[in-house]
Amino acid sequence: MEVEREMAGIGIPFAAGVAAGPALLSGGSVPLFLPALLQPFLLLATAAVACLPRRKLSGRGYRLILGLLFFAAGLFCWLNALQPALAFTPAPGPLTTAALRTAARLQAEIDAIPYPGTATGPLLRAVLTGDRSALAPATVAVFRRSGASHILALSGLHLGILYLLLTRATAPLGNSIPARRTRSVLTVCAAGFYTLATGASASTQRAFTFILLGETARNLGRERGPAAVLMASLTLQLAMHPGQLATPGFQLSYLAMTGITLLYPPLAGLYPAAAHPVAARFDPVRRIWEAAALTLACQVFTAPVAWLHFHTFPKYFLLTNLLALPLTGILMTVSVVTVLLSVAGCCPELLVRANDFLASTLLFCLETIAEMG
């Protein structure tokens, strides 16, 4: 808990500093001398905090100074990102180029699979690679009206499912210390490659940062509190890309994770405790309650911002997520296996039909919910 408080004392002021930049300097261009004036101030403030014995400050005073320092650092990052000499977009490196080529090949492999339904291939391209160009406008409208647009937009949901698949795929390597570290390296590298291949949106960057921080902490024997990982990820991502703070994808992604971190545990805890752990694991009502609590926790935090940006609110969001999220997880798992076996040239027709059936079932559920609205 102490680590989470310390990370919150860093992450929240830093994000506030990044957000304060546009608010304080909203009119006109930013003078070039502002970052130059802030830089020595930040260096002196950092040196003062580092050299001042902590015993001369109360805990509250130390946190206040540290918070002000990181607020100034966030403002400084935002100002530097505006400078033409510093805010540049580098050319894609060999790794990014290889990832994009892999994504293009994956899309071609999906198109080559003879699915019975005409909507299955385009849907799987969207769900697995983020490419929605082949989706029919009517299909996109169904996802929007039913409140399931987040399934089409690659996000932490998709990378989280991939992370679970990678964790299970590397399980045969064992649980010894060298094996766990090897599994972590393989998982992080695969998740990072997938993030690059799918365009590295703000939400997938957040999910990858979560995976990276979580695996690093686990292998170093450090605490992995959800709030600490959330704040550390927020700080790192804003330090690298301050401008993302203003994008809807970034805001909704971190607000959803804030809801999961803060609101989901007490909501899930309202369900009566089971007498035995095995009973809790196989209690279907508990699983439904936990899924509903997760959806509510996300919606409470994201709904105001979604309304601000898009002026929409899905009336049946609870029903949509209770049906669509489990189906999406199963669909992605079966789709990955289908594509891999198709690449190897040994995919049975029964698996292709099962994959098509899952995609059709997902579309049918969303169409039904969309018609209710």
Question: 219 versus 280: which is more confidently predicted?
Answer: 219
In this prediction, residue 83 carries a pLDDT of 58
Rg of the chain in Å (alpha carbons): 23
Residue 46, Cα to own-chain centre: how many angstroms? 31
Report percent pLDDT > 90 for the chain. 28
What is the per-residue pLDDT for 85? Answer: 47
Token digits of residue 156 = 């932490």
Q: What is the pLDDT of residue 275?
A: 67
pLDDT band at 86 (very low <50, low <70, confident <90, very high): very low
Half-sphere exposure of 30 (CA within 13 A, CB side): 21
Please identify which residue in the block is written with the tokens 């003879």.
114
Torsion, Cα of 175, 179, 182, 183 (10° steps): -30
Q: Tens digits of per-residue pLDDT, 14-47?
A: 888 888 877 666 554 555 555 555 556 655 655 5
CA 10 to chain centre: 21
What percentage of the chain exceeds 70 in pLDDT?
A: 83
pLDDT > 90? residue 121: yes
Cβ proximity of 203 and 249 under 8 Å:
yes
CA distance 171 to 180: 9
Query: Which pLDDT score is estimated for 87?
Result: 44
Q: Where are the domains of the chain?
A: 2-24+31-82, 94-372
Which pLDDT value is given to residue 217? Answer: 86
The torsion of the CA quartet 105, 107, 109, 113, rounded to 10 degrees, works out to -170
pLDDT at 246: 84
Q: Is the dihedral of CA 255, 258, 260, 263 positive or negative?
A: negative
pLDDT, tens digit (0-9, with 9 covering 90-100), for 173-197: 888 888 999 999 999 999 999 998 8
Stretch 241-259: mean pLDDT: 88
Q: What is the mean pLDDT of the chain?
A: 82
Is the pLDDT confidence value at 115 over 90? yes
Residue appearing with tokens 């697995």: 128
Kindly state the average pLDDT of the residues 138-142.
90
Q: Report DSSP letters for 85-119, one per residue.
A: TT---PPP-HHHHHHHHHHHHHHHHHHHS--SSTT
| pLDDT, average across residues 147-163 | 85
Residue 70: its pLDDT value, please? 81
Tell me the whole-structure pTM to 2 decimals: 0.84
**pLDDT per residue over 295-340, tens digit each?**
899 989 998 988 888 877 778 888 888 888 899 999 999 999 999 9
Q: What is the pLDDT of residue 88?
A: 45
CA distance 314 to 316: 6
Residue 78 in contact with residue 18, Cβ under 8 Å?
yes
pLDDT at 258: 92
pLDDT at res. 91 = 58
Question: Which of 92, 126, 131, 125 is CA-nearest to residue 109?
Answer: 125
Which pLDDT band, with edges at 50, 70 and 90, does 54 fall under? low
Confidence of residue 109 (pLDDT cuts 50, 70, 90): very high
Nearest Cα to Cα of residue 21 among 321, 267, 243? 243
Phi, psi at residue 298, to the nearest 5°?
-70, -45
Going by pLDDT thresholds of 50, 70 and 90, the confidence category of residue 202 is: confident
CA dihedral 112, 117, 118, 124 (to 10 degrees): -60
Q: Is the pLDDT of residue 76 over 80?
A: no
- Cα Dmax for the chain: 73
Q: What would the mean pLDDT of 229-258 be, rounded to a whole number?
A: 88
